[in-house]
Amino acid sequence: MPFRSQQTLELWLEEFRSLGYTIAGTIKVMQQDGGDGDDTGLVGVRLANAETVTYVQPEAPYSPKWVVTMEAREQPVVLDSVELLNLAAELSVVSALCAFLQAKSAAYLDRDTV
């Protein structure tokens, strides 16, 4: 199974979902090919409590470290205390997903170098 292929990431996402995290928005693998045709790994997140373009991806090619990017917004997000709490819960799931993908990547790279 190629590292960071859409198929691999779909399997990892399915495994993450089976862990029981409550996902208010949507999380999906997005197709993204690197310059030389390699899969680079990109997971899109649509937050239910803030319309902010958010995605999870490797920090750099061949790096096991994953990072979350939240793109700039044209309009500010204004939330009351309940909405903010709901957004915080969503972000904690995104954080857990980022850590999960990093752990899976590290394990894959360790297995690949043996």
C-alpha span between 57 and 1 (Å, rounded): 18
Alpha-carbon distance 113 to 7, whole Å?
21
Give me 18's structure tokens. Answer: 């089976």
Rounded to two decimals, the pTM is 0.87
CA dihedral of 105, 45, 72, 6, whole degrees rounded to 10? 50
Convert the pLDDT of each residue in 30-74 to its tens digit.
Answer: 877 655 556 667 899 999 999 888 999 999 877 889 999 999 989
Q: How confident is the model at residue 88 (pLDDT cuts 50, 70, 90)?
A: very high
Locate the domains of the chain by residue range: 6-113
In angstroms, how far is the first alpha carbon of the chain from the final one? 16
Residue 114: band (very low, low, confident or very high) from pLDDT cuts 50, 70, 90: very low
CA angle (64, 67, 43) in 5-degree steps: 90
Residue 6 DSSP class: H
